[in-house]
Structures are given as structure tokens and as C-alpha cells.
Amino acid sequence: MKTKFKIAACVLATTAITAGLFSFRDNSPTDYSKISVEGETIAELTAPPLVPKPIGNRAATKLIVNMEIKEIEGEMVDGVKYTYWTFGGSVPGSFIRTRVGDEVEFHLKNHPDNKLPHNIDLHAVTGPGGGATSSLVAPGHEKVFNFKTLNPGLYVYHCATAPVGMHIANGMYGLILVEPEGGLPPVDREYYVMQGDFYTKGKYGEQGLQPFDMDKAVKEDADYVVFNGKVGSITGDNSLTAKVGETVRIYMGNGGPNLVSSFHVIGEIFDKVHIEGGDMINKNVQTTLIPAGGSAIVEFKVDVPGTFIIVDHSIFRAFNKGAIGMLKVEGPADKQIYSGTTQEGIYLAEGGTIQNMPKVKNEAKNLVAKTLPQQLKAGKELFGGTCFACHQSEGQGIPSVFPPLAKSDYLNADPKRAIDAVLHGLSGEVKVNGKKFNNVMTSQNLTDEEIANTLTYVYDSWGNNKTRVTSAMVKAQRANSTPQSGGSH
Ligand SMILES: [Cu+2]
């Protein structure tokens, strides 16, 4: 009796350790095909970045999903229109939340105003075409099919009507979550984000209605790589939000059609990642790879306040094609976890020490005033080395992300304000030529003379008002103004 008990305790302990290490990986697949359902429920569907309520411990049910396909015109980025084909009116399509053992009755409705037939392939379905073979539906019609959810996980759904790539490229994808029995562990915030690549006749930012470009799509030469269907869908006022101390879970999908996502949140580490949306959990992950037509569930606790930038770490996509999002975290700072800048100085590689700004040297230099052509030459070089990375080579900026310096009313109205921006950085909402920007320009660590030259060059270029900025003006601003507190707001 005694020995038997000891063995049982030992087994229990081992199981506990295994469970701790691998979480619910040790759940050997259960056969949910025989589980019976209770009652009938209409599924709550949500547009991104929201997700329906968790299933908690509800029993398996007959779940009715009413999905309406709509072909609608939307905006990819300011002034760029695109005709999206959508499941439920959004890109990605409505989020569907189920649990294992549910019997889903799927109603696919094709709005009478649409031009094309469509269908749906849900990766959560066990059956031919994932439902596609049973769901081809013409405009003004409805198709119904049923399936039972057998495997917990986060699955992509998409249209699979020829040309399949084109239907997906136009936004016909979304996520369906199949929760395990008893539901996923509760967290404070849940969000729905999906990456997609877009191919337009015009290049990035070219104005007007932009038709889909089949050649670029075949070459995988994307003009836009975005989260939730458009540039800026989760930045500025649309940012995801959380409070210090909360745990955030993102249901992250990739509709493709072509590109794989190197999903990363700058300044955070994923405490947990359900790799590829399945049962296996990896911990302490910096960047997780999300295949086209795949997903991941990422979770992390936010410990300090600030704006955390969400990117595809194939980084040109983030800064030049739109794959940027933001998570704004509010709450008290914790200087032990993150101190903010504790010292600012010039780094001299040779001496190997960090020194304070050499004020004297700066003033000495100022004694030899440059002529305007000298200032412009020096300013152009500096612009090409720093500012151009964000404001672009002709000062045209990037719609919704970096404001233009070309013909900028903000710039031309007030040189002191422009000097302040370069001296101390700029964040919060600014309006440039009627367009709102809400992003962060870091302070540019430049001397008075360098700032004077760069701004003189900027004022002299691209239709600006030719204000001449002198070192003395910058020096006066430096003395006048107090640096903006912190990097975020
Ligand atoms: Cu379609």
C-alpha cells in the first residue's frame, strides 16, 4: 500500500514538471468527433482589432456563423483608394471564436451588389477544400455547410475562388479560433491583428484608386505590407492599448498572399508564443515567424509605460511599406526595469569614453560663419545622412508615417518650432499640409551649426520659403527651450 502511494506521488510530481515545461503540449490529441453538442448559439463576430468574448467553460454547441461577403472601396493610405473584397466588411475578415467539439453551421452570403462569386476555405475544417468545395456562392446567393471542430488552435480562413491569389491579395482572409476544452487561460487584453501584402498598379503612395497588379503579385513585389488591411490601422488614435501590469494576447495571423512575417514588438519580449497557432508553447521569444496562411498566439506582460512599435522585422516593410503598429501602455514607470536616458553625450570611439557635449568646441567653430553656399552644401550632406531616412530624399515624407518637409506649412510657419523639433525631437499629433501625423521623431544629436545648416538646406529646397537659419538662432533656442520629457506620451 505504502510503496504504491509513493510511486503515484512520484508520477504526479513528474507530470507536474512536464506540464510546467511544456504547458498543454502533453495533452495527447483527444478525439472530439464524438462529443455531443448542447443547444444552438449565434456566433459573435468582430472586426479587427477586437475579438469575441472568450468561450470559458461553455459546453460544445451548435454554432451558427453568418458571414457576409462585401466588395468595398477603402483607403490603403491617405489618398490611395483600393477595392477590397472582404469577409464581413473588414480586412482581415470577422474573427470567429469556437471551441473544440462545436458543430458549426456556416452561412456564407454574397451581397447582391458584389460583382464576383466567392467561397471560403477554413483551415479549421477537416474536409475537402476546408469548405471551399461546398461554399462557392454567386452574388445575391447564400450557401450553408456544416463542420465539427476537431483540433484546438488558431486557424486562417480565406477565399479559394480562382484566381485564388487575387482573392486573397484583395483582402479575403481572417482568423477562426478553436479554443481547447475549458478555454484558453484568461488574460487582461486580447487583440486581433493580421498581416497582408498588397500589389497596386502605382507605387507606394501613388494617389487615386489603385487597381490590383497581377504581375507584381506573381513576382512577390509588394507595394504595401500592412497590418489589418491598411497603413496606420493600429497606429496613432487606433493604437492597441494596455495598462502597466496587464497581460496582452495577440491573435496574429498572416493572410499573405506571398510574404512570411517576422513578427516583433519593439521593446517587448513574448513571454509565450503558441507556435504556428498550435499547442506547442515557446517562451521568451523576440521575433516569431508567421507563415503565409498561418498564425501565432503571442502573449506578454507589459511592465513599463510607453509606445511599443509592432513590426514585421523584415524592416523595410515596416518603414517603407506600412507594416507598423503601436501598442500604447499607460501607467507608472519602473526605473529599475527601464531607466530612460540617464546620460546623453557624444560617443568617441577612439577614446572609448562617453563625454558631454563639447560646448566650447561648438562655440569656437561658430566664430567662422559660413557663406550661404557653404551652409547649403554642408546641410545637404547632413540631410542625406540623417533626415532623409524618414523624410525621404525629396522631403516628400511617407504618407501617415513621416510628414513632408517639402512645401511644409508647419516648417514654413515658424523656424523656432522647426529648430525645436530637431533639437529635442517631436511627438504627439502634428498637422502638416492638412494631414495629421502622430508618430515619434527622435531628437537629432547635432551641433548648433549642423542644425542651422540642415534646416537652411531644407528651407532652401522643394518649394520652401528660403529662411536662413543661423547657429546663433539655434543657440538661442537651445537656451530657451526645455527638452520634451520622455520619449512617449
Ligand atoms: Cu473571393
CA of 342 to the centre of ligand 1 (A): 54
What secondary structure letter does DSSP report for 257? Answer: S
Instruction: Report angle CA 96, 100, 104 to the nearest 5 degrees.
Output: 50
Is 2 or 365 the better-scoring residue by pLDDT? 365
Distance CA 376, CA 365 (A): 17
Amino acid identity of residue 359, one-letter, is: K
pLDDT single digits (tens) 181-238: 999 999 999 999 999 999 999 999 999 999 999 999 999 999 999 999 999 999 999 9
CA of 122 to the centre of ligand 1 (A): 13
pLDDT of residue 367: 56
Across residues 459-484, what is the average pLDDT? 89
Burial bucket for residue 444 (CB in 10 Å: 0-12, 13-18, 19+): middle
The answer on pLDDT for 365 being more than 70 is: no
pLDDT single digits (tens) 431-448: 999 999 988 787 777 899
Lowest-pLDDT choice from 119-123, 169-173, 209-213, 340-344 = 340-344
Say which residues have a Cβ less than 8 Å from residue 297's Cβ, sequence separation at least 6. 154, 184, 249, 250, 251, 252, 272, 273, 274, 277
**8 A C-beta contact, residue 116 and residue 74:** no
CA of 172 to the centre of ligand 1 (A): 6
Is 347 or 99 the better-scoring residue by pLDDT? 99
Phi, psi of 432 (to 5 degrees): -125, 120
Distance CA 435, CA 318 (A): 20
CA of 432 to the centre of ligand 1 (A): 38
pLDDT of residue 230: 97
The answer on pLDDT for 282 being more than 50 is: yes
- Angle between helix axes 471-480 and 415-424 (nearest 10 degrees) is 70
pLDDT of residue 8: 40
- Residue 240, all three cell numbers: 492597441
Distance CA 358, CA 405 (A): 30
What DSSP line would sit under 439-459, residue for residue?
EEEPPP---HHHHHHHHHHHH
**8 A C-beta contact, residue 460 and residue 375:** no
Is 16 or 251 the better-scoring residue by pLDDT? 251
pLDDT of residue 261: 98
Is 458 or 31 the better-scoring residue by pLDDT? 458
CA of 166 to the centre of ligand 1 (A): 8
302: closest CA among 328, 281, 336, 323?
Answer: 328
CA of 213 to the centre of ligand 1 (A): 16
Distance CA 97, CA 424 (A): 46
pLDDT single digits (tens) 26-75: 455 678 898 999 999 999 999 999 999 999 999 999 999 999 999 999 99
Phi, psi of 59 (to 5 degrees): -75, 160
Torsion of CA 193, 194, 195, 197, to 10 degrees: -140
CA of 158 to the centre of ligand 1 (A): 8
CA of 119 to the centre of ligand 1 (A): 6
Lowest-pLDDT choice from 267-276, 340-349, 357-366 = 357-366
Across residues 323-338, what is the average pLDDT? 93
Place of cell 464524438: 34
Burial bucket for residue 238 (CB in 10 Å: 0-12, 13-18, 19+): middle
pLDDT of residue 6: 41
Query: pTM of the entire structure?
Result: 0.69
Distance CA 290, CA 177 (A): 16
Distance CA 196, CA 312 (A): 11
pLDDT, averaged across the chain: 88
The answer on pLDDT for 23 being more than 60 is: no
pLDDT of residue 27: 52
CA of 192 to the centre of ligand 1 (A): 21
Distance CA 435, CA 404 (A): 10
Place of cell 502597466: 244
The answer on pLDDT for 484 being more than 50 is: no
pLDDT tier at 369 (50, 70, 90 boundaries)? confident
Is 29 or 114 the better-scoring residue by pLDDT? 114
Amino acid identity of residue 159, one-letter, is: C
Burial bucket for residue 268 (CB in 10 Å: 0-12, 13-18, 19+): buried
- Residue 362, all three cell numbers: 561648438
The answer on pLDDT for 285 being more than 50 is: yes
Query: ω before 186 within 30° of 0 (cis)?
Result: no
CA of 147 to the centre of ligand 1 (A): 20
Q: What is the distance, to the nearest Å, from the Cα of residue 480 to the centroid of all Cα atoms in its chain?
A: 38
CA of 208 to the centre of ligand 1 (A): 23
CA of 212 to the centre of ligand 1 (A): 14
Distances (CA, A) of 287 to 160, 235, 296, 328: 30, 20, 11, 19
pLDDT of residue 21: 40
Give percent of the chain with pLDDT exceeding 90.
Answer: 74
pLDDT of residue 347: 58
pLDDT tier at 388 (50, 70, 90 boundaries)? confident
